[in-house]
């Protein structure tokens, strides 16, 4: 199965045979968007147009396959930046038609959830999926039959977006999330009292806009006359924010597992690479009696392996799409 992913700022193609990854090629755009401190949709789609044919060709070379040897083409249909999605969709439709291959569209979140099952063959429904990335923060119940059931989601900003925006507040390079995690290693996570939004109340929803505002106010309060923060203050703010952001994820995941009576947790998305989140969830699992699965780091951020995996499931169920397949910015997970 050939997978193509272009939902945001990474152009990716992969070839998957069962659980075996034959190729995984990702072209990132960090340098393109760094001057702006965030993803510029128009620049993202233009860069995808320049690179998509080269990325797909590189994946086929890495897999040692000709297009005719493929069993199908899976492509992200959404959610995401519509301009970026259309680049991948148009290419996938043309490629599938040229080589007479079946085409399937994949929901981006369904792809992330599929990445956990690639990582651990023992993971099987029912389980809890925690999707936490730059665009998504949500909890899903995954059963053997039917679509994933949404249990809770962010009411405003995604956790990954909050990491990036706080990184920008602290003067870190784009993307801010990984840089913030590195800076937090030298900070004291108890140094700054920050809120844990929606932690004490009932329910499984998240919120990160208030936490971002709290950090912004702390930065403003601590600025020196020359408009700078000391190295110690920056590290402490990074560590304190990271603790607050991940504590909310851990607490809501534990609550959802207990509520649903589940023994497995799959954590997927770019923030699943965060080491503090991993450590806290593993520790919580030892305490509560659940097992946590994380994809390898290469499959946490956006990639095409996960799209190929989710697409293979659709093909196995006899599902197909045609040239009318369109892109969508938002939609519930349906497959």
Per-residue pLDDT tens over the stretch 252-302: 999 999 999 999 999 999 999 999 999 999 999 999 999 999 998 889 988
Distance between CA atoms of residues 316 and 71, nearest Å: 11
Q: Is the pLDDT of residue 237 over 90?
A: yes
Per-residue confidence at 334, pLDDT binned at 50, 70, 90? low
Per-residue pLDDT tens over the stretch 97-117: 999 999 999 999 999 999 898
SS (H, E, C) 94-138: HHHHHCCCCEEEEEHHHHHHHHHHHHCCCCCCCEEEEEECCCCEE
More confident residue, 333 or 255: 255
Is residue 156 classed as helix, strand or coil in its secondary structure?
coil
Is residue 335 classed as helix, strand or coil in its secondary structure?
coil
Q: Work out the widest C-alpha separation in the chain, in whole angstroms.
A: 66
- First-to-last CA distance in the chain? 17
Q: What is the pTM of this model?
A: 0.89
DSSP 273-328: G-HHHHHHHHHHHHHHT-EEE---GGGTSS-SHHHHHHHHHHHHTT--B-TT----
Query: Would you state the pLDDT for residue 187?
Result: 97
Is residue 29 classed as helix, strand or coil in its secondary structure?
coil
Distance between CA atoms of residues 92 and 14, nearest Å: 13
Per-residue pLDDT tens over the stretch 16-67: 999 899 999 999 998 899 888 788 999 999 999 999 999 999 999 999 999 9
Distance between CA atoms of residues 48 and 116, nearest Å: 26
Distance between CA atoms of residues 73 and 75, nearest Å: 7
Q: Answer yes or no: are the C-beta atoms of 277 and 249 closer than 8 Å.
A: yes
Q: Answer yes or no: are the C-beta atoms of 84 and 8 closer than 8 Å.
A: yes
Is beta strand 73-78 parallel, antiparallel or unpaired with respect to 2-5? parallel
Structure tokens at 304: 């095409």
Per-residue pLDDT tens over the stretch 194-224: 999 888 778 999 999 999 999 999 999 999 8
By C-alpha distance, which of 319, 310, 308, 327 is closest to 21?
Answer: 308
Torsions phi, psi of 182, nearest 5?
A: -65, -45
Q: Which residues pair with 106 in a beta bridge?
A: 76
Q: Is the pLDDT of residue 147 over 90?
A: no
Per-residue pLDDT tens over the stretch 311-323: 999 999 999 999 9
- Domains in the chain, start-ordered, CATH in brackets? 2-111+299-316 (3.30.420.40), 125-297 (3.30.420.40)
Structure tokens at 153: 């989601």
Strands, E assignment, 111-221: 127-132, 137-142, 149-153
Q: Which residues pair with 264 in a beta bridge?
A: 291
Q: Answer yes or no: are the C-beta atoms of 15 and 2 closer than 8 Å.
A: yes
Structure tokens at 224: 């020196």
């Amino acid at each position: 199965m050939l997978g193509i992913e272009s939902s945001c700022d990474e152009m990716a193609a992969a070839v998957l045979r069962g659980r075996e990854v034959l190729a995984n090629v990702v072209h990132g755009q960090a340098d393109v968007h760094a001057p702006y401190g965030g993803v510029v949709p128009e620049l993202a789609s233009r860069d995808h147009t320049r690179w998509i044919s080269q990325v797909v060709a590189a994946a086929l070379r890495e897999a040692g396959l000709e297009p005719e040897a493929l069993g199908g083409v899976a492509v992200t249909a959404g959610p995401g930046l519509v301009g970026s999605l259309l680049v991948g969709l148009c290419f996938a439709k043309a490629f599938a038609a040229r080589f007479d291959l079946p085409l399937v569209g994949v929901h981006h979140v369904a792809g992330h959830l599929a990445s956990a099952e690639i990582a651990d063959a023992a993971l099987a429904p029912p389980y809890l999926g925690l999707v936490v990335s730059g665009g998504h923060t949500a909890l899903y119940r995954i059963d053997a039959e039917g679509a994933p059931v949404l249990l809770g989601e962010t009411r405003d900003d995604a956790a990954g977006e909050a990491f990036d925006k706080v990184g920008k507040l602290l003067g870190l390079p784009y993307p801010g999330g990984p840089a913030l995690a590195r800076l937090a290693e030298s900070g004291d996570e108890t140094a700054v009292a920050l809120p844990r939004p929606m932690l004490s109340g009932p329910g499984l929803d998240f919120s990160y806009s208030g936490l971002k505002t709290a950090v912004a106010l702390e930065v403003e309060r601590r600025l020196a006359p020359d408009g700078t923060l000391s190295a110690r203050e920056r590290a402490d703010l990074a560590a304190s924010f990271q603790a607050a952001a991940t504590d909310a994820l851990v607490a809501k995941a534990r609550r959802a597992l207990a509520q649903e009576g589940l023994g497995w947790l799959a954590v997927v998305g770019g923030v699943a690479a965060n080491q503090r989140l991993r450590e806290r969830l593993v520790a919580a699992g030892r305490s509560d009696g659940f097992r946590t699965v994380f994809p390898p780091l290469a499959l946490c951020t956006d990639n095409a392996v996960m799209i190929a995996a989710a697409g293979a499931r659709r093909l196995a169920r006899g599902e197909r799409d045609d040239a009318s397949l369109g892109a969508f910015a938002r939609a519930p997970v349906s497959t």
